Amino acid sequence: MFKLGKVIFREVQRFRQVWLWTIILFIAGVAWYGFIQQLIIKIPFGNHPTPNIVMIITWIIAGMGLPALFCSTRLITEVRTDGLYIHYLPFHFSPRRIPFNEIKSFKVRTYSPLMEYGGWGIRIGLRGQAYNVSGNRGVQLVLFNGKRILIGSQKAEELARAIDTAMGKSNV
């Protein structure tokens, strides 16, 4: 069985932006309101009500699924003695491991999630791949194969120090 290295740094991030949760809860609220009004109270929802089955599907997806997805989503970043691990739940079944011998360089930087990567999440942009959930700070990795990976972090300097310690060289 494969044994993981000792944890040097661990950060768990979740979507906590008020504006994002306002939008999600508004959408979920409309789905719940329509479901209750049309299927429980039996008053058609709107001037041109949707069929009940469509209302049920909408309620399941937007009323329950969307909030559940965002509640369960989290980015776990770990620096271990055997590599850097990125686990973006629920989208990764297992963590992505980046061995230290694949990292050419890294640095802490401020970035624009919208302009550089098109938002938050697992993103691919002109500047490479990004894993982020909030904020605009992170650690930019450059791999020996030329790929660039940005890891968003609320503790970017601490993450970089942990990578530096684990790699055994001064690179921050």
Domain boundary among 34, 50, 72: 72
Residue 67 located in a structural domain: yes
Is residue 171 scored above 60 in pLDDT? no
DSSP labels for 83-121? EEEEEEETT-SS-EEE-GGGEEEEEEEE--HHHHHSSSE
Q: Total structural domains in the chain?
A: 2
pLDDT digits (tens, 9 = 90+) for 68-127: 998 999 999 999 999 999 999 999 889 999 999 999 999 999 999 989 998 899 998 788
- pLDDT tens-digit readout, 39-72: 888 887 777 788 889 999 999 999 999 999 989 9
Q: What is the pLDDT of residue 169?
A: 55
Band of residue 170 on the pLDDT scale cut at 50, 70, 90: very low
The predicted structure's pLDDT at residue 12: 96
Would the pLDDT of 1 be above 60?
no
- Is 2 part of a structural domain of the chain? no
Q: Indicate whether 60 and 130 sit together in one domain.
A: no
Same domain, 41 and 89: no
Task: Kindly give, in sequence order, each residue whose CB lies less than 8 Å from that of residue 81, ignoring residues fewer than 6 positions away.
Answer: 5, 6, 8, 166
CB atoms within 10 A of CB 54: 10
| Tokens found for residue 45 | 């929802």
Is 2's pLDDT higher than 80? Answer: no
Boundary of a domain, candidates 72, 94, 120? 72
Please state the pTM of the whole predicted model.
0.81
Helix (H) or strand (E) holding 52: helix 52-58
The reported pLDDT for the residue numbered 172 is 45
Let me know if residue 146 belongs to a domain: yes
Round to the nearest angstrom and report the end-to-end CA distance of the chain.
34
Query: Which domain does 66 fall in, by range?
Result: 14-72
